[in-house]
Structure 1
Amino acid sequence: MKLSIFTIAASLALSMGVCAQEQETDSLEGKKVVLDEVFVSAIRVTKQSPVTFSNLTKEDIKPRNLGQDIPVLMNFLPSVVTTTDAGAGVGYTGIRVRGSDATRVNVTINGIPYNDAESQGTFWVNMPDFASSTESLQLQRGVGTSTNGAGAFGASLNVLTDGFSQDAYGQISTSIGSYSTLRNNLKFSTGLLNDHVEISGRLSKIKSDGYIDRARSDLDSYFLQGAYKDDNTLIKAIIFGGHEVTYQAWYGIDAQTLKDDRTFNPSGIYTDLDGNTQFHNNEVDNYKQDHAQLLWNEQISDFWSTNIALHYTRGRGFFEQYKEADDFSTYGFEPIIVDGSEVNTTDLIRRRWLDNDFYGTVFSVNYKKDKLDLIIGGGLNKYEGDHFGEVIWARYASNSSYRDRYYDDSSSKTDFNLYTKANYQLTDQWSLYGDLQYRTVGYKANGDETGLVDDTFNFFNPKAGVTFDLNANNNFYLSYAVANREPNRNDYESGNPKPEKLNDFELGWRYVSANVQVNTNLYYMKYKDQLVVTGELNDVGAPLRENVGDSYRFGLEIDANIKLGDKFSVRPNIAISDNKNKDFFIDRDDELQGLGDTNIAFSPGLVAGNIISYMPCDAMSLSLYSKFVGEQYLSNTDTEASKLDAYFTNDFNITYEIKMNNVVKSIVFSGLVNNILNEKYVSNGYTYLDSWSTPGNTFEVQGYYPQAGTNFLLGATVNF
């Protein structure tokens, strides 16, 4: 670390965080819900609910939206830690909330599940530049409210796409930056036609070489929306999607390489027939995903409204690998004789494919009158996926034919849930919250990794809470929520995983005035059979998990938005937590060893952030973003070798708008300098036990994902 702990403490004291839980307002009444928000009203919350949350609007995202992924743009929310494979925010990105990884963050887009049904992860790389089509998002930390998709074990992220526009507009954006990063996008809207219909859309193209060697990205995406509205009806038909081709960068590097050559990428490495080191030029992930949504909201009466959505997602693609001296048996090849000798290994290039469909419906009915706000809703969703592998080239092909499938697996998953939730205003100050959800999941799979799987899970997830409004500015809440989760596909690699259960307790205080907003909450998340990340990766770079019996996360979160006059604002957050496995055991050298209470992997005890903003005039804004992430462990064993150092980064953001009165309405210039102090840091890694080279003497091996030093993005947006 370049900065002393006193410097860090001073910086945090002056400037922690981002985004109080509601945007500029001077009382707990908050803003009125706009018409577009009806699509997520069933799963979003306000200050009248005993749920811990943060909001980001289009205006919050816009200054930094220069091509980086949504997780990176959320980096300054409370308890959030982000990482990128390529090191600079373009390509594969990851997010953790309260130490829980992306498989625990339940993501919905317009109320429709987005997490991959099998892995339970979210792959934002499949929807590049999606932030440019995002109206707002809400991050609920903890279990949150009942929603569609897999249950939340760390957080829920609800994304609302672009609202309809009253007026026609056109917009051209471009940005350039370090590592040959280039983004171009085009947006348009017809405005309301005949006071009822609007058509809008976006096309985007992003390219980047990445900070890590050869970690290039070539990303395309689109968004097209048709909307119809009248006094009581809002209907949207939306199609969006993306195509990504990214050079693989998920292998990481060892500690010595981190010191000597931190941008080295071992992916695709092989030795040619002359003994020279080469890199396969197409060691890429190539995937395309298309989404279709039909959303219909109807205001039936002053008290009743309904919301129904149909959706379909089509995904297909592969990742390609060069394999040296791989066994014939893996591919069903028969040994052959070459120059009088038996050959049973070969160099080859293979592709491992995913081809899947996800479709279903989500729905809700809302009754709101006097003191009662009641929602009844649910969803029925089906996933069907094929997993298969092909050899597209081999030095010795034996008895194979071109693109023979050396494995051909299938899987299916049905997810059905019903929920009822209500807020009841007991008195002027007290309100009660209740939420009951029933969820049933059926999962079938066959494969060498999973074996034959045919599991059904039935979960009951109750939630309850109370909110107390001391006055127009002070609000207190207490809640208790239960969540249950099924294992994901990778969990079955390790044997017979158990479903996991979480009991989440939240106690919070919110203060809102014209110039100061503060949110403070204590949480205690008690897990049974939690599937914690072990630190290991499988052969496709996905984290492995295992049931650990009893574990917990206990923490304090504080975030604020403070106006210092008309020109300055400070938005701080800090999260202090204790994350422990109880009575943790490990199998080492065929002996079961008890390690007592250990830290949960990838769960830093201190995460803090800050935004200091200065507006010298209406046309210009300057912001300094700071982020501190404390030390964390790559495994659950508390060994020094598996510890990641703390890091502290700072970004500088500037925007300037030139207004015009002609065809061009305005031009907005943006600049972003990331990691201005050139911190050499690592935000992610892996570890595993190795005893091959020295049987009976197991030792840990670590891999690291270094992040970029000082880098920049510059952009311009022309508005018509």
Structure 2
Amino acid sequence: MKQSLLLLWLLVSTTVLYAQKTISGAVTDKTKGQPLTGVSIIIQGNNNNGVLTDAHGRYQLKVPSKGSYRLQASYLGYRTYITTLQGSDAVSELNIPLEETGLFVQPVEISSLRAGKNAPFTTSSLNAEDIKKQNLGQDLPLLLNQLPGVVTNSDAGNGIGYTGLRVRGSDITRINVTVNGIPINDAESSGTFFVDMPDFASSVNSIQLQRGVGTSTNGAGAFGASLNLSTNEFRDKAYGEINNSYGSFNSWKHTVKAGSGLINDHFTIDARLSKISSDGYIDRASSDLHSFYTSAAYISKKTAIRLNVFSGKEKTYQAWNGVPEALLHTDRTYNSAGTEKPGAPYDNETDNYQQDHYQLFLNQEINSRLNFNVALHYTKGKGYYEQYKAQQLFADYGLSSPVINGLPVDTTDLIRQLWLDNDFYGTVFSVNGTGQKLNWSLGGGWNRYEGGHYGKIIWAQYDIDKDHKYYDLDAVKTDFNIYWKGEFKLTEAVRLFADLQYRTVRFNIDGFEDNPTLIQHNTYNFFNPKAGIYYYLNTSSQLYASYSIGNKEPNRDDFEAGLTQTPKHENLQNVEAGYVFRNNRVNVQANAYYMYYKNQLVQTGKLNDVGAYTRTNIPKSYRVGIELQGSVKLNEVFTFGANAAFSQNKIKNYTAFVDNYDSGVQDTVHYGNSNISFSPSVVAGYTLTARPVKGLDIDVIGKYVSRQYLDNTGSKERSLNGYYTNDVRLRYSIPQPLFKELGLQVAVNNIFNRKYEPNGASYTWIEGGKLVSDNYYYPMAGTNYMVGLTVAF
């Protein structure tokens, strides 16, 4: 903390203040004369010094009092307004009429799912500029690290490769993720693997994170949050951009983007090509990632048709096992993957996967108050992870033991590949109506997943048929949902919100690798209602409150518990209440939440029918907390933003199952109100931004996460220490006449070289009458850096 304060003081003491004056006015529709709310007003070249128009279309902005500057007003569906003003002019009032483009560019497939400005839910958003200023190659979850209640981790230790995300203690399998309204979560595990979408952040123009159940969305139910990513940005001017960055651990990022702008008043084409590579902080935790994104659109006055095709291909050396506790302080980059091979570790203990996405959208305006959209989507995923396994029983692979020199040989070293070959396809839709009193959406989707699981042996110490397939299992999952959500304007100050969703899921699993005869066919029918109120105290202050119910089916691995232990679905009741204050200088939000779970699935240590650990339904558990976030413009140079989340996360009457090696059975240990694993009671962060000269931004960033428990017993011996880290980011737009932008970015992460671990695992048993724990950790890198150069034209 002392170092952080010193750094802040140095920034303050070396800053030069520049004279400013205020300009204000109203922004209206040029034809209709109506005020426009939410118009972005900026000084070109300084996007961070911008404002949005209020409910009456008015704005107030600090501008230079000397020299010339260009003021820009932009709003979706309207032509961008740009004017050059002189600081010495006496202009203090500037009214801006915006002209409609005459094109249907509103992404209604997004607005039907996202929480609107009057929706009574807890949200945080990032725009394209927020994303760009930190996008130097780290995976997308790391870009969300400064949002309230968010904790991120990385298997490789530097944010490239496999990364994890938790919101309010809920992991990625409980976070609903959509891209342009299309579900992205894996249908079987409910997880989202951002490593399969390398550098996708470079194609995203806005992100909304809803914490809690949130509004109805497509795909698996949201049990911790909903993450909505939008790429369907309309750009009417041609552009090109090259981004290159290099940093610690031989990390590289190369990105090329280009767009045609509007062709013949109707067509646009956008494309991106990316490559990311890194050796990783952890030993051998290398990544080799490739991706592309293309989008072509036809846009007219009432119709928009868009085709998105994007793909990601990854090869990462496995770093899934963690560092044993005994080595954490002496060899914290240790990686056990590949070490079953005698001698040097196996050089291809890798994960290999390619995922191709196809999205086709039709947006149609019926009249000024009614529009609809329908989308078709298809995702093809195929890949495997490869392992060297020592002393494997032939019988475990459906093989007879060979006889060598007259004696049977029961085991062999081998190299195996575990394959996943899946197809995910379907449709989503919404009809959207607007009126003076009621805005509403009727939408939903039908999706089908077909997954093939098989394993094969590609090499063995003893003679085995090459590519011997030792299991081949299928799974099919269909998911249909329909929802109606509406916002009713009761008075000028009060908005009522209702959201009703019906969802049905059929999940057929025809066997598992370790239990091929276990057949699980289950159908679930869920009703997920939400209701809330949004109250305008005045133009700057609002209150909101909501009550929501969510339901979620078990994941694939949960069903391996056996027919006698088939898991129940989970149920969540969520109460959210908050206060929002916004003006041109201050932005504050405070909210409280209560999340009550029935039959939440958690690890208890219980063994399933094949002797593997399985998640078990626990009757009652809850999360309750307060979240604070805000920002303030301290003066013309400094802006300070901070957030903090305080919570209790408890299981009522928890029972743990512990292997007893002395007796050969499992013991049970009963607890009262125990802590839910990986749910810190405090998560906080801050960002101090300094703009000492034109074109230069300096961010000082801090993050604090309190103790996390590796299991649900609340044992300090099986926990992750709390940590506090600091980063510094610098962005400089270099003045020059050749390019639209020549930007330099520098990010120094963990500047005080803290040793910390945001993720881990624990295995506990009884031996010799004593409780023994085996803990594993996923360390993050010490001080590391990335340097990037952007050329835009």
Asked if the contact 1:105/1:157 (under 8 Å) is kept, the reply is yes
Q: Which has the higher contact order (CA 8 A, sep 6+)?
A: 1
Report how far residue 42 of structure 1 moved. Answer: 0.5
The match for 1:603 is 679
Match of 2:307 among 196, 213, 237: 237
State percent identity of aligned pairs: 48
The match for 1:573 is 643
Asked if the contact 1:216/1:246 (under 8 Å) is kept, the reply is yes
Q: 1:208 to 1:537 in 2, by over 3 A?
A: farther
The match for 1:708 is 781
The match for 2:95 is none
Match of 1:25 among 52, 69, 92: 52
Task: Classify the secondary structure of the residue corresponding to 1:683.
Answer: coil
Asked if the contact 1:315/1:357 (under 8 Å) is kept, the reply is yes
Q: What is the one-letter code of the residue matched to 1:365?
A: V
Q: Within 5 Å, which residues of 2 pair with 1:30-109?
A: 35-109=105-179
Gaps of 5+ in 1: 15-21
Asked if the contact 2:4/2:726 (under 8 Å) is kept, the reply is no
The match for 2:482 is 418
Task: Classify the secondary structure of the residue corresponding to 1:53.
Answer: strand
Report how far residue 233 of structure 1 moved. Answer: 1.6
Report how far residue 171 of structure 1 moved. Answer: 1.0
Can you list the C-alpha shifts for 1:283-342, whole angstroms capped at 9, x where unaligned? 000000000000111111011000111000000000000000011111111112223332
The match for 2:27 is none
Can you list the C-alpha shifts for 1:113-140, whole angstroms capped at 9, x where unaligned? 0000000000000010000000101000
Q: What is the one-letter code of the residue matched to 1:360?
A: G
CA distance in 2, matches of 1:271, 1:222: 36
2:216 corresponds to 1:146:
yes
Q: What is the one-letter code of the residue matched to 1:478?
A: A
| Count of aligned pairs between the two proteins | 697
Q: What is the one-letter code of the residue matched to 1:452?
A: I
Task: Classify the secondary structure of the residue corresponding to 1:452.
Answer: strand
Report how far residue 592 of structure 1 moved. Answer: 2.7
Report how far residue 445 of structure 1 moved. Answer: 0.8
Task: Classify the secondary structure of the residue corresponding to 2:584.
Answer: coil
Q: CA RMSD in A?
A: 2.3
Task: Classify the secondary structure of the residue corresponding to 2:323.
Answer: coil
The match for 2:716 is 640
Q: What is the one-letter code of the residue matched to 2:763?
A: Y
Match of 1:299 among 365, 374, 378: 365
Q: 1:515 to 1:302 in 2, by over 3 A?
A: same
CA distance in 2, matches of 1:362, 1:686: 38
2:759 corresponds to 1:684:
yes
The match for 2:197 is 127
CA distance in 2, matches of 1:593, 1:682: 28
Q: What is the one-letter code of the residue matched to 2:263?
A: L
Q: What is the one-letter code of the residue matched to 1:604?
A: P
The match for 1:670 is 745
Report how far residue 396 of structure 1 moved. Answer: 1.2
2:515 corresponds to 1:488:
no
Report how far residue 700 of structure 1 moved. Answer: 2.1
Report how far residue 696 of structure 1 moved. Answer: 6.1
The match for 2:530 is 463
CA distance in 1, matches of 2:625, 2:54: 27
Asked if the contact 1:25/1:512 (under 8 Å) is kept, the reply is no
Asked if the contact 1:36/1:163 (under 8 Å) is kept, the reply is no
Task: Classify the secondary structure of the residue corresponding to 1:529.
Answer: strand
The match for 2:519 is 452
Q: Within 5 Å, which residues of 2 pair with 1:542-561?
A: 545-561=615-631
Report how far residue 534 of structure 1 moved. Answer: 5.2
CA distance in 2, matches of 1:26, 1:507: 25
The match for 1:620 is 696
Q: What is the one-letter code of the residue matched to 2:395?
A: S
Report how far residue 698 of structure 1 moved. Answer: 4.7
Report how far residue 258 of structure 1 moved. Answer: 0.4
Report how far residue 162 of structure 1 moved. Answer: 4.7
Task: Classify the secondary structure of the residue corresponding to 2:133.
Answer: helix
Gaps of 5+ in 2: 13-39, 41-49, 58-73, 78-104, 661-665
Asked if the contact 1:536/1:688 (under 8 Å) is kept, the reply is no
Report how far residue 33 of structure 1 moved. Answer: 5.5
The match for 1:281 is 347
Asked if the contact 1:202/1:222 (under 8 Å) is kept, the reply is yes
Report how far residue 536 of structure 1 moved. Answer: 10
Q: What is the one-letter code of the residue matched to 2:356?
A: D
Can you list the C-alpha shifts for 1:344-368, whole angstroms capped at 9, x where unaligned? 1000000000000000000000111
Report how far residue 688 of structure 1 moved. Answer: 1.6
Asked if the contact 1:102/1:121 (under 8 Å) is kept, the reply is yes
CA distance in 2, matches of 1:537, 1:181: 41
Q: What is the one-letter code of the residue matched to 1:432?
A: L
Q: 1:700 to 1:344 in 2, by over 3 A?
A: same
CA distance in 2, matches of 1:605, 1:29: 40
Match of 2:292 among 174, 199, 222: 222
2:518 corresponds to 1:429:
no
Task: Classify the secondary structure of the residue corresponding to 2:758.
Answer: strand
TM-score between both structures, scaled by the size of structure 2: 0.85
Q: 1:170 to 1:93 in 2, by over 3 A?
A: same
Report how far residue 254 of structure 1 moved. Answer: 1.3
CA distance in 2, matches of 1:653, 1:441: 45
CA distance in 1, matches of 2:421, 2:442: 34
CA distance in 2, matches of 1:586, 1:630: 24
CA distance in 2, matches of 1:543, 1:49: 41
CA distance in 2, matches of 1:646, 1:510: 30
Report how far residue 455 of structure 1 moved. Answer: 0.3
Report how far residue 404 of structure 1 moved. Answer: 1.6
Task: Classify the secondary structure of the residue corresponding to 2:173.
Answer: helix
Task: Classify the secondary structure of the residue corresponding to 1:530.
Answer: strand
Asked if the contact 2:478/2:506 (under 8 Å) is kept, the reply is yes
Task: Classify the secondary structure of the residue corresponding to 2:678.
Answer: coil
Q: Within 5 Å, which residues of 2 pair with 1:141-290?
A: 141-272=211-342, 277-290=343-356
CA distance in 1, matches of 2:429, 2:607: 37
Q: What is the one-letter code of the residue matched to 2:386?
A: E
The match for 2:37 is none
Task: Classify the secondary structure of the residue corresponding to 1:256.
Answer: helix
Task: Classify the secondary structure of the residue corresponding to 1:635.
Answer: coil
Q: 1:468 to 1:373 in 2, by over 3 A?
A: same
Asked if the contact 1:28/1:475 (under 8 Å) is kept, the reply is no
CA distance in 2, matches of 1:422, 1:375: 6
The match for 1:440 is 504
CA distance in 1, matches of 2:288, 2:402: 40
Task: Classify the secondary structure of the residue corresponding to 1:583.
Answer: coil
Asked if the contact 1:25/1:513 (under 8 Å) is kept, the reply is no
Can you list the C-alpha shifts for 1:621-642, whole angstroms capped at 9, x where unaligned? 1001111000010100111211
Task: Classify the secondary structure of the residue corresponding to 2:329.
Answer: helix
- Which structure's CA Rg is the greater one? 2
Q: What is the one-letter code of the residue matched to 2:243?
A: S
Asked if the contact 1:153/1:502 (under 8 Å) is kept, the reply is yes
Q: 1:492 to 1:129 in 2, by over 3 A?
A: same
Q: What is the one-letter code of the residue matched to 1:503?
A: Q
Report how far residue 73 of structure 1 moved. Answer: 0.5
Q: What is the one-letter code of the residue matched to 1:689?
A: T
Q: After alignment, is 83-92 or 327-336 more displaced?
A: 327-336
Q: 1:162 to 1:185 in 2, by over 3 A?
A: farther
CA distance in 1, matches of 2:3, 2:530: 40
Report how far residue 617 of structure 1 moved. Answer: 2.7
Q: 1:126 to 1:537 in 2, by over 3 A?
A: farther
Asked if the contact 1:422/1:434 (under 8 Å) is kept, the reply is yes
Asked if the contact 2:675/2:712 (under 8 Å) is kept, the reply is yes
Asked if the contact 2:107/2:232 (under 8 Å) is kept, the reply is no
CA distance in 2, matches of 1:221, 1:534: 39
CA distance in 1, matches of 2:364, 2:261: 21
Report how far residue 546 of structure 1 moved. Answer: 2.5
CA distance in 1, matches of 2:142, 2:497: 33
The match for 2:433 is 367
Q: What is the one-letter code of the residue matched to 1:69?
A: D
Task: Classify the secondary structure of the residue corresponding to 2:557.
Answer: helix
Report how far residue 532 of structure 1 moved. Answer: 2.5
Match of 2:387 among 309, 315, 321: 321
